[in-house]
Chains A and B, each alone.
Chain A
Amino acid sequence: MLLYFLRRAASAISVIFATLVASYALFLLAPTDPVGTICGPKCTPDRAADISAALHLEDPALQQIGVYLKGIVAGREYEIGGTVRECDAPCLGYSFALGRPVTELIADALPVTLSIVLGGAVVYFSVGVLVGTLAARHRGTTLDRVAVGSSLTINSVPYFIVVLLVALYATNVVLPAAQYTSLLENPLAWASGLLAAWITLGLTNAASYTRYSRASMIESLGQDYVRTARSKGISERRVVYRHGVRAGLTPVVTIVGLDIAYQLTNTLFTESIFGLPGLGRLTLNAFNTYDLPVLLGSVLVGSTVLVTMNLIIDILYTFLDPRVRLA
């Protein structure tokens, strides 16, 4: 059991490491003139030389990656225009465009994205599972048809249009204006500022979750062991919510994990349209200004998030499904 986790953790770390090497090579070792790109349109030869030196771009490739890795572990310093900028561990690079360490930028943006995605996940998981289970339990009734019908309708509208419509019509009128306040600073403002984003992300995904959980519940309610449960004389409610849900939701939980991981790295529309300063917006801006260090940092954080979520799901799964435990 412990061995299994260690093995999984080791493979997770090696995946992150491989991503690091590959994206470093793609961004900074490629024959695409990284210095010119980072330096931008108002580049001076002095600044270009600074950047090149700060990034050790003249050194052999392996050594460069070594420096970058060492920065992650121990921090490093960047010298720009004669002044030294500290970049504390874990130093993911330095944004010359914004004049700040990448880690700081990401550390500012990550809580925003986490708040949006996790809050949204609470909404779509609970709504989707509830509606899906009800639909499965009352299969073929009006309730079921309405649930499936509206789920399909919601899903047939492209996501960014939903966000846009909510931003245009709902915020300021029905929902409080979208803005980000730190949870630690003011929990109420945090929740009200994110409400619009949660509802948008939550309801669109709830539509898919309704269908996943409905299908999964229908399957589990048709299993022999549910019939066995009925034959024991326990209430129908207990049959559905204990025996059915326990088996029906296990696969859905796995999908939630993957979806959260995916959304953490893909909240572009939600953040941009609601003007929330999260990872998606940071990346989008970096993309517009060719801010390679920030892009590199986001890719690394993104892949770490994905790999970690996968690891969490695997571990969670061994608790949810006793049959996997001995494997």
Chain B
Amino acid sequence: MDQTTQEAQTDFRGRRPRVPGEEAYLEVTDLQVRFPTADGVVQAVDGLTYSLPLGRTLAIVGESGSGKSVSSMAVMGLHDRKSTFMSGSIKIGGREIIGMSEQELNTVRGVEAAMIFQDPQSSMHPYFTVGDQIMESYRQHNKVSKKAAKTRAVEMLDRVGIPNPQRRVDQYPHEFSGGMRQRAMIAMALVNDPKLLIADEPTTALDVTVQAQILDLIADLQRDFGSAVVFITHDLGVVAEIADDILVMYAGNAVEHGPVEKILGTPLHPYAWGLLESIPAVSGTPGPLHPIPGAPPSLLAMPSGCAFHPRCEFRERVPGDMCRTLRPELIARTADTGRASRCHLKDPDRVFETEVLPRLP
């Protein structure tokens, strides 16, 4: 481990309150990702902006199709240039990713930034051993012998809690269980001590106990390595457990962004309220569930004004049909905490406390 990560480790241990003005490691500004298709242009990400300093975990939540994976893959430079339009800016450690050459991208991917994918079943190559795949990543970025790389692979497997790593290193992915395979994926992602780790629903395919173990593992590793972590999930329970900040995405954009306790405690955006109402109570008695009415908008033809307005039960509260005609900006709502939401409502905190909170499960 080099000097800077050593420092980062002591610097960023554990959760800390957000310090305004803290230097961002990942900085996404007005990101647009469009896919031209036969049916028209799919606007998968539409002006997304967020930033993340080292040592913090950002959870990105939102319905299926809201652009969580697409925006994160853009951060890793994984979209096919020929069939994707991208604009805006993505900076990792100050380096601009958009428009970077493949060759230069490869000095970022796998070493500065690494990604764990949703499905461990299909994300590892079935024809290469687990060790081989970890070693490939390590040797790409470090001039070391095969033997040294293998030692490193064994060490990483051990680190992520795979028993018997000397034997496991020579096995193929299909000889691993789902949870073990996800651990191996994590080992592979972390083999070069990346400063940014993106985990795209890393636990969705796993059963609950394994899920909890993997979450603990990521949290542990994050503490040890002091990296910035982007954690994509559907599960607000997971968010509460692991994240410092939340970014709620809707139709390719952030609708609410801020510290986790604030947003889970008093969310300010009607879509976030809908999300809270649609999950079963984490602790209490099972109550009725209220799925958000309607369906996410077509990315081929975004609604005018607020993208959420066709499904929003509060749009009548805003005078002058603004919800339908004017797109709200993502703006700071309260002075103290650096939280922001994208909604025309004047008094969202009051609406939440008086109308939404009483009917939460």
Q: Do A and B bind each other?
A: yes
Q: A-side interface residues toward B, CB under 8 Å?
A: 140, 223-225, 227-236, 243, 246-247, 250, 320-323, 326
Nearest CB of A to B301, in Å: 26
Bound-state CA distance A236–B109 (Å) is 12
Q: Which residues of B contact A323 (CB under 8 A)?
A: 126, 172, 174
Which of the residues B73, B78, B127 comes within 8 Å of A250, measured between beta carbons? B127
Contact A233–B127 (Cβ < 8 Å): no
| Least Cβ–Cβ distance between B325 and chain A, in angstroms | 40
The answer to whether A246 and B117 have CB atoms under 8 Å apart is no
Contact across chains for A247 and B140 when beta carbons are under 8 A apart: no
A237's closest neighbor in chain B, by CB?
B102
Contact between B127 and A232, CB atoms less than 8 A apart: no
Contact with A along B210-249 (1 / 0, CB 8 A): 0000000000000000000000000000000000000000
When the two chains form the complex, which single residue of A140, A233, A321, A322 contacts B109, counting CB atoms closer than 8 Å? A233
Pick the contact of A233: B140, B172, B174, B175 (CB < 8 A): B140
Supposing A246-B128, A322-B172 touch, asked if A228 and B106 sit within 8 A by C-beta, the answer is: no
Q: Does B182 contact A (CB under 8 A)?
A: no
Complex Cα distance, B123 from A230, in Å, reads: 11
In the bound complex, CA of A231 to CA of B110 (Å): 6
A229 to B175, CA, bound (A): 20
Q: A230-B78, A233-B108, A233-B109 are in contact. Are A246 and B122 (CB under 8 A)?
A: no
* B125 close to A (CB within 8 Å): yes
In the bound complex, how far is the Cα of B109 from the Cα of A258, in angstroms? Answer: 41
B109 adjacent to A230 (CB under 8 Å): yes
CA distance A227 to B127 in the complex (A): 15
Are B117 and A224 in contact, CB atoms less than 8 angstroms apart? yes
A290, B221: Cα distance in complex, Å = 79
Question: Is A233 a contact partner of B125 (Cβ separation < 8 A)?
Answer: no
Complex alpha-carbon distance, A247 and B141, angstroms: 24
B residues near A232, Cβ cutoff 8 Å = 109-110, 114, 136-137, 140, 188
B125 touches A247 (CB 8 A): yes
Q: Considering only CB atoms, which chain B residue lies closest to A325 in the complex?
A: B172
> Chain A: interface secondary structure?
helix
Q: Chain A: which residue is nearest B109 at the CB level?
A: A233
Q: Which residues of A contact B127 (CB under 8 A)?
A: 246-247, 250, 320-322
Contact across chains for B108 and A223 when beta carbons are under 8 A apart: no
By a CB distance below 8 angstroms, the chain A residues around B162 are none
A37 CB, min distance to chain B CBs, angstroms = 54
Q: Known contacts A232-B137, A233-B140: does B124 contact A225 (CB below 8 Å)?
A: yes
Could you tell me if B125 and A243 are in contact, using CB atoms closer than 8 angstroms?
A: yes
Q: Give 6 CB contacts A-B under 8 Å.
A: A227-B123, A228-B123, A233-B107, A250-B127, A321-B126, A322-B172
A267 nearest CB across to chain B (Å): 34
**Once bound together, how far apart are the Cα atoms of A75 and B11, in whole Å?**
87
- CB neighbors of A among B151-198 (8 A): 172, 174-175, 185, 188
Distance, CA A229 to CA B110, complexed state (A) = 9
Query: Which of A225, A227, A229, A326: most chain B CB closer than 10 A?
Result: A225
The chain A residue sitting closest to B140, CB to CB, is A234
* Proximity string of chain B (98-111) to chain A, C-beta cutoff 8 Å, 1 when within and 0 when not: 00001101111111
Report the nearest B residue to A235, measured CB to CB: B106
A229 → B minimal CB distance (Å)? 7
Report the separation of the CA atoms of residues A232 and B110 in the bound assembly, to the nearest whole angstrom. 4
Q: How far is the CB of A143 from chain B (nearest CB, A)?
A: 13
B residues less than 8 Å from A229 (CB atoms) = 125, 136
Whether B119 sits at the interface, judged by CB under 8 Å, is: yes
Given contacts A322-B172, A323-B172, A323-B174, contact A231 B125 (CB under 8 A): no
Contacts of B124 in A (CB 8 A): 225, 228
Beta-carbon contact of A322 and B141 below 8 Å: no
Separation of A247 and B122 alpha carbons in the complex (Å): 13
